[in-house]
Amino acid sequence: MEVSVCTNRAILSPCGLKNIDYQVDTYIGCEHLCYYCYALEDAETDWSKEIQIQQNIVDQLSEELDTISPQKIYIGYQTDPYQPCEAEHRQTRKVLQLLLQKGFSASILTKSDLVVRDIDILSAMNAAAVSVSVAFNDDATRRLFEEHTMATEKRVEALHQLKGAGIRTAALVCPIVPYISDAIELIDMLVPCTSEIWVYGLSINDRSGENWLRVQKILNNHFPDLAAPIEQVLFSKDHPYWTELRNKLTALKNDHQLNLNIHL
Ligand code: SF4
């Protein structure tokens, strides 16, 4: 993986999420290479070959933060802040140190257990939060759809460590691939390590889009019997698969009083 340096890009940008006004992406590109990723559609570079880091991210972000009041900043909207190159380049850790120093806090979304490295900073912030997303129950399937992510078990273990350190955790079961992801089993794994779980189906709207073509190739090569049924479900929001799953999850939520947010 080539990691190149870029300059002159705004680092702080508006965030469309509820109750969070600003976000920071600590990398340009994401080597996790999830083949369903909507961000891959608009990528400026080939993420399988090149990731970019902003030169002097701390100095520039420091100036940008001086224009707003201390608040929670979202990290992980377009790219994963704990993708493998973070272990060496530590852009995310530098940003977190700066946020802490200036009285800001962070809300992080990642698919990596590397986030536990930064528990020391996160636990010193005011109400920092970490969300971890999981989608696949077995590791071989996970590797097909998300080539360079961490195993689901490692992500769940990271949530346990974060929760144990007193950091607010949430989990996303996302994206559910019909007939492949077992959402109920994933939720069972997550309940002990987080009190807030969000569930989303794989969202692909365009049969000519690159993310569908990539997913379709995986299905044809590895799940030939399921490829056509999965395509039918994905392109039909009213498909009985979704209704049935929604009903099962609603029953689970009610029976166990879970903070389960179902977006199917
Ligand atoms: S971790 Fe997120 S941003 Fe990175 S490739 Fe996967 S879905 Fe896209």
pLDDT, tens digit, 9 for 90 and up, residues 94-132: 999 999 999 999 999 999 999 999 999 999 999 999 999
Per the DSSP assignment, residues forming a β-bridge with 3 are 51
Least confidently predicted of 93-97, 179-183, 204-208, 218-222:
204-208
Per residue, what are the HEC states of 185-243? HHHHHHHHHCCCEEEEECCCCCCCCHHHHHHHHHHHHHCHHHHHHHHHHHCCCCCHHHH
Helices (H) and strands (E) in the chain, counts: 10, 10
CA distances, 21 to each of 14, 74, 137, 143, 150 (Å): 6, 8, 34, 34, 29
Cα(165)–Cα(45) distance, rounded to whole angstroms? Answer: 37
Please check whether residue 111 is in contact with residue 149, taking contact to mean a CB–CB distance below 8 angstroms.
Answer: yes
SS3 5: strand
Q: Which atom of ligand 1 is nearest to the CA of 47?
A: 5
CA distances, 154 to each of 132, 177, 247, 250 (Å): 11, 20, 29, 27
> Which position has the token pair 């009903």?
247
- Pairing state between β 50-54 and 2-6: parallel
| pLDDT digits 0-9 by tens, 166-180 | 999 999 999 999 999
| pLDDT digits 0-9 by tens, 146-196 | 999 999 999 999 999 999 999 999 999 999 999 999 999 999 999 999 989
Residue whose C-alpha is closest to residue 117's, from 145, 87, 142: 87
Nearest CA to ligand 1 atom 6: 34
How many Å lie between the centroid of ligand 1 and the Cα of residue 150? 12
pLDDT at position 44, please? 80
- Pocket lining for ligand 1, CB < 6 angstroms: 30, 32-34, 37, 39, 79-80, 111
